Amino acid sequence: MDMIALAKAAILGVLEGFTEFLPVSSTGHLLLAERYLGLGFSDEQFDKTFAVLIQLGSVLALLGVYTRKLLEIAVALPTDPRARTFAAGVLLAFLPAAIIGALAHGFIKGVLFNPLVICIALIVGGFVLIAMDERRVEPRYTDATAFPLQMYLLIGLCQCLAMIPGVSRSGATIVSAMLLGADKRSAAEFSFFLAMPTMAGAFAYELYKNYKFLDLNDAGLIAVGFVTALISGIIVVRGLLGYVSRHGFAPFGWWRIGVGAAGLAAWFVWG
């Protein structure tokens, strides 16, 4: 197998793991890195598929860190109404993206996976995060497992904005949760819970749509990206909640603006 391609897969896996749960758009970072930093593979369609498939490593990172909490919720389901409400809330939040993603898959991959769209979304989202950090509103909810059902649904609807690469799935869920009354920590934690079914569903659908076009070499590249995404994802998940509690989201907003501006400059030079 081509060692250069394996190295690219490893670098992209690390990038995926470190950016997936930050409100900076992992897909946007991956696609810009592939296009302008020479980290892409020979097939542009495979680049897009690879960016989705290696997200499974990040999903498993979440499962590894949250295994105990998920088991506690599962055990409590038969007897605890709050646990059942939370499980129903995650399902409600997941369904809009599942339905729209399946219906609009071709349009998303064919039209929205565009460097200009990504860069504009990164910059606009950066300013939104900075503005959210400046808000001085007393939060009404501090527990991600105790939001009202309608709030879970509204967060799920807002998550659909992240089908535009550059918006950020975690960014859309965090910002919408905060606008609906959650504090920074619980908003970030619910983005973790919602990521599990959303990203697993995206992985399964992408694999179903493209497995016939993947060969053995592709499987090796995806495996390398998966493992490196898993390792780096664990690092981020373990540290993110404490970080945002202390520093907020403005640093990620400035990062988004910087990456988006650099991407725009590259787009004007190289197209």
Mean pLDDT of 251-262: 97
Lowest mean pLDDT among 34-48, 123-137, 162-176: 34-48
Which residues touch 4 (CB under 8 Å, ≥6 apart)? Answer: none
What pLDDT is stored for residue 76 in this prediction? Answer: 96
Q: What is the DSSP string of 54-92?
A: THHHHHHHHHHHHHHHHHHHHHHTTT-HHHHHHHHHHHH
109 pLDDT higher than 90: no
Mean pLDDT of the chain: 92
Lowest mean pLDDT among 12-21, 155-164, 216-225: 216-225
Residue 194: give the domain boundaries: 3-270
45 pLDDT higher than 90: no
Q: Spell 222-261 as b/e; 16+ CB within 10 A means b.
A: bbbbbbbbbebbbebbeebbeebeeebbebbbebbbebbe
Cα separation, 179 vs 183, in Å, equals 9
What pLDDT is stored for residue 1 in this prediction? Answer: 56
43 pLDDT higher than 80: no
Neighbours of 4 (CB within 10 A): 9
The count of structural domains within the chain is 1
What pLDDT is stored for residue 260 in this prediction? Answer: 97
Cα separation, 251 vs 253, in Å, equals 5
Cα separation, 46 vs 39, in Å, equals 12
Query: What's the length of the chain?
Result: 271
Per-residue confidence band for 168, with pLDDT thresholds at 50, 70 and 90: very high
208 by Cβ neighbours in 10 Å (0-12 / 13-18 / 19+) ranks as exposed
Percentage of the residues of the chain whose pLDDT score is greater than 90: 70
Cα separation, 98 vs 85, in Å, equals 20
Tell me, what DSSP letter sits at residue 141?
A: B
Taking the model in full, what pTM does it have?
0.90
Q: Are 46 and 221 in contact (CB under 8 A)?
A: no
Mean pLDDT of 32-42: 89
pLDDT in tens, 133-149: 888 889 999 999 999 99
220 pLDDT higher than 60: yes
